[in-house]
Amino acid sequence: MRKGKITLLRSAALVLSGIIVFMQGSSLAKTEGNEPYFSGLKACAAAELHTLTVVTESEADMKLNVAGLARLPALLFVCEAFDAGKLTNDTEVAVSEKAAAVPGPTAFVRPNERIKAGALLKAAVMILAGDAITALAETAAGTPEAAAAAINDRLEQLGLTQRLSSLEDNTGSFSAKDLLILGKALANSSSFCELSGTFIDEIEHDNGEKTELVNQNRLLKTVSGCFGIATGSSGEAGYCGIFGVKRGDSAYLCVVIGASSAEERHSKAKALVEHAFAEYKSKVIVSAGDVVVKDHPIIGGTQEKVDLIALEDAVILEKQGEMYSERLDIQETVRAPLVKTEAVGTLSVLNGKGEHVLRIRLFPAENVGKAVFFDRVQKIMRYWVHG
């Protein structure tokens, strides 16, 4: 990742590859419907991890039954509870009868069993164990009703329309693009990422018995850089999965819905991922808070210059062989007062056809007040004394 304090003169000539504020996908060739890795699937999509720029898709907006992947919102709630310290690995969880009865992949916990939250988190992340996810969510929120409400609030924050009727409700339909959003949120959870790449492990119950956990994500073994994320299957949904792969600065999420077998699920996912890496590359320019323009002049302020910064990470997907350029749109000088939350210019990224790919607003690094008469007198005195 390159960081830099770029002078205004240099920034006018520097080719930047983009900073995410809003995204226009017109420059990306989204192949649909006729590629070999689409055949036999109900839906699929591959997207850059940080921006969710879709590089290829088929029926990606269609709401579908996604089997166990419908538990991802509850899993996200649990992982974020660990991230926030509401749960720790040593938190003791008392498994309710409802949690123990959740069907599907299971940690084989018993009603009223007392078990460490860290053990349940392994089962939740590695195999999407419904009993483990439910028990952890109940513990984090206090009640099943509070957990369902918190999960629905999180879905709303993510811009998703699905809602749980209860914590045990796993009937929601999701599109491939919905799963990309959930996958990105999970990839931002440190608690999730610590376990998502684990292929085999075990947990121990309060009676001394052990349950072996085997991650069904075969890409962990066959695709370089795979770090998770989740798989699921059912008779109605077929074989589904969301997979994350990172190599260098480039990272992609891939969603497969409705494959006919586990083998097809993973072969199609691998083809989607390799297509993304072959056709595109992520380019990281600056991080949130880095200076884009150094010492920009100010008129009528309590100071003469201010740095202009980006508030978002600088990431763009570059199509192999295509040229990109930047355009800085900002007045030669800006007039005080300046507020850190109010943009004073933009940096645009254009493709070889001159089309906007991305645009980022630039903000003052600090508030700058408007100079009053006393400020001007002080300035004159400083010049008189110091020259």
Count of other CB atoms within 10 angstroms of residue 340:
13
Q: 3-state SS of 207-252?
A: CCCEEEEECCCCHHHHCCCEEEEEEEEECCCEEEEEEEEEECCEEE
Domain positions in the chain are 8-19+285-386, 30-281
Q: Is it the case that residue 34 has pLDDT exceeding 60?
A: no
Q: Is it the case that residue 212 has pLDDT exceeding 60?
A: yes
Between 127 and 8, residue with greater pLDDT: 127
Q: How far apart are CA 202 and CA 90, in angstroms?
A: 16
Q: Is it the case that residue 236 has pLDDT exceeding 80?
A: yes
Q: Is it the case that residue 377 has pLDDT exceeding 60?
A: no
pTM: 0.78
pLDDT of residue 54: 92
The percentage of residues in the chain with a pLDDT greater than 90, rounded to a whole number, is 65
| Residue 62 backbone dihedrals phi, psi, to 5 degrees | -75, 130
Q: How far apart are CA 67 and CA 232, in angstroms?
A: 6
**To which H or E segment does residue 254 belong?**
strand 250-259
What's 62's DSSP letter? -
Residue 218 — pLDDT band, cuts 50, 70, 90? very high
Q: What is the CATH number that goes with domain 8-19+285-386?
A: 2.60.410.10
* Average confidence (pLDDT) over 320-334: 83
Q: Is it the case that residue 186 has pLDDT exceeding 80?
A: yes
pLDDT of residue 30: 47
Amino acid at 67: A
Q: How is domain 30-281 classified at the CATH fold level? A: Beta-lactamase (3.40.710)
Between 380 and 245, residue with greater pLDDT: 245
Terminal Cα-to-Cα distance of the chain (whole angstroms): 42
Q: Is the peptide bond before 337 cis (omega within 30 degrees of 0)?
A: yes
pLDDT of residue 15: 30
Residue 36 — pLDDT band, cuts 50, 70, 90? low
Q: Is it the case that residue 35 has pLDDT exceeding 90?
A: no
Q: How distant is the alpha carbon of residue 131 from its chain centre?
A: 26
Residue 172 — pLDDT band, cuts 50, 70, 90? confident
Q: Report whether 46 contacts 272 (CB < 8 A).
A: yes
The percentage of residues in the chain with a pLDDT greater than 70, rounded to a whole number, is 86
| Residue 340 backbone dihedrals phi, psi, to 5 degrees | -60, -25
Q: Indicate the average pLDDT of the chain.
A: 86
What angle do the packed helices 72-83 and 144-157 form, to 10 degrees?
90
Lowest mean pLDDT among 34-43, 95-104, 152-161, 332-341: 34-43
Q: Is it the case that residue 23 has pLDDT exceeding 80?
A: no
